[in-house]
Amino acid sequence: MEPRPALEVNQLSKTFATKNGPLLVLDAIDMHVNENEFVCIVGSSGCGKSTLLNIVAGLDTASQGEVLLRGRKIQGPGADRGMVFQNYTLYPWLSVAGNVEFGLKVSKVPKAERQERVQHYLDIVGLTRFANVFPKQLSGGMKQRAAIARAMANEPEILLLDEPFGALDCQTKEVLQEFLLDVAQKTHKTFLMITHDVEEAIFLSERIYVFSARPGRICREIPIPLGSNRDRTSRRTSRFLELRQDLTDLMHGEALLTQEAL
């Protein structure tokens, strides 16, 4: 059966007005994410990755083009998209369980269902024992697990991740990458994640879109043929290392082209 796109981005461009005139940040982006697929966008800082994700989330608008979620045009924020940022954005006055439950209360989900969902997603992210703990008592990695549980508890059609592990140390980051891959396999949700970390993108995704430096354009779409049974040893395989080198070389070449054009 042919994969069905959950998310479609069609000829999307974004221009910002500046004191020096219009600034083209995204140029004619065409991409998609299939149902239950994990896709990463990689590119250097300033290439428009976060701008694109904000448009998909409904937090910003495109200058041209459209974004469709299961055939519906995105025209603003909605519970059909969950968002996880690099900064943990947890409410400090709420417990872990309270943070996960917050969006469900806003959506007026019945109490019994709220409690069931909170318990379910705390189990998935391994924070059941910390349900009554407040964010200030958690490590950075645990805060991000709580943020992911909160986003998933609303059961969105797609989870959007904006460099969620960018503020963490290398060891914690690797542990959480393995955790996120496990979550993706357990929940069968659809993920779109942006990162500048080449190794992270290869480890997590089934496909990668590589953005050029500003203006952001898709310069390559790369399938990642590593299968679903990935663990830390996958990073040492010859195929993984080849992909990492190819992707690093591609991004380095894009950076050089940009510098020459300045």
Write out pLDDT tens, residues 63-99.
Answer: 999 999 999 999 999 989 999 988 778 999 999 999 9
Q: Is the pLDDT of residue 132 over 50?
A: yes
The encoded tokens of residue 256 equal 């050089």
Write out pLDDT tens, residues 221-240.
Answer: 999 998 878 888 889 999 99
What does the domain layout of the chain look like in residue ranges?
Answer: 1-76+161-262, 81-155
Order of all β-strands in the sheet with 21-34: 21-34, 5-18, 64-69, 72-73
Fold (topology level) of 1-76+161-262:
Rossmann fold (3.40.50)
Q: Is the pLDDT of residue 119 over 70?
A: yes
Looking at residue 172, its pLDDT comes to: 86
Q: Is the pLDDT of residue 117 over 90?
A: yes
Looking at residue 209, its pLDDT comes to: 96
Q: Is the pLDDT of residue 127 over 80?
A: yes
Q: What is the mean pLDDT of residues 181-195?
A: 91
Looking at residue 43, its pLDDT comes to: 86
Looking at residue 262, its pLDDT comes to: 46
Q: What are the helix and strand counts (H, E) for the chain?
A: 7, 10
Q: Is the pLDDT of residue 115 over 90?
A: yes
The DSSP symbol for 216 reads B
Cα–Cα distance for residue pair 190/228, rounded to 1 Å: 15
Residue type for 54, please?
N
| SS3 category, 190 | coil
Q: Is the pLDDT of residue 211 over 60?
A: yes
Q: Is the pLDDT of residue 250 over 80?
A: yes
Looking at residue 3, its pLDDT comes to: 78
Q: Is the pLDDT of residue 51 over 90?
A: yes
Q: Is the pLDDT of residue 259 over 60?
A: no
Looking at residue 82, its pLDDT comes to: 92
Cα–Cα distance for residue pair 154/150, rounded to 1 Å: 7
Q: Comparing 85 with 34, which gets the higher pLDDT?
A: 34
Looking at residue 261, its pLDDT comes to: 47
Spatial CA neighbour of 23 closest among 211, 210, 214? 214
Which pTM value belongs to this model? 0.91
Q: Is the pLDDT of residue 249 over 80?
A: yes
The crossing angle, in degrees rounded to 10, of helices 170-187 and 111-125 is: 130
Instruction: Give the other-Cβ count within 10 Å of 55's Cβ.
Output: 23
The encoded tokens of residue 97 equal 């369980």
